[in-house]
């Protein structure tokens, strides 16, 4: 299993207690909605970086 510290986008979340306190103050329970029932698994990114499924939404991301 990969730890949070090894994931590139989440490194700051696991780096220290000061970081954790900062994130807690910026995010509250009121900001997170309950499940909306609109989740769809339309694509998958594999361990080796291979992607399959519907990636058409990526064309709306400004140059991706």
Residue-wise pLDDT tens digits, 27-37: 788 888 888 88
**10 part of a folded domain:** yes
**13 part of a folded domain:** yes
Residue 19: CB partners within 8 Å, gap ≥ 6? 12, 13
Tokens read off for 28: 């509250």
- Rounded mean pLDDT, 10-29: 59
**15 part of a folded domain:** yes
Q: Is the pLDDT of residue 10 over 70?
A: no
Domain with 14 in it: 1-29
Q: What is the DSSP letter of 52?
A: E
**What are the backbone angles phi and psi of residue 37, rounded to the nearest 5°?**
75, 15
pLDDT value at position 4?
45
**What are the backbone angles phi and psi of residue 2, rounded to the nearest 5°?**
-85, 135
Whether the CB-CB separation of 44 and 52 falls below 8 Å is answered with yes
Please give the tally of structural domains in the chain.
1
pLDDT (tens digit per residue) in 30-64: 888 888 888 887 888 899 988 888 877 777 665 54
pLDDT value at position 28?
84
**What are the backbone angles phi and psi of residue 8, rounded to the nearest 5°?**
-55, -40
- Rounded mean pLDDT, 13-18: 52
């Amino acid at each position: 299993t990969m730890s949070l510290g090894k994931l590139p986008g989440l490194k700051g979340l696991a780096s220290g207690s000061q970081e954790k306190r900062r994130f807690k103050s910026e995010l509250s329970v009121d900001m997170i909605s309950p499940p909306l029932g609109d989740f769809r698994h339309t694509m998958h990114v594999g361990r080796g970086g291979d992607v399959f499924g519907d990636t058409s939404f990526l064309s709306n991301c400004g140059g991706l």
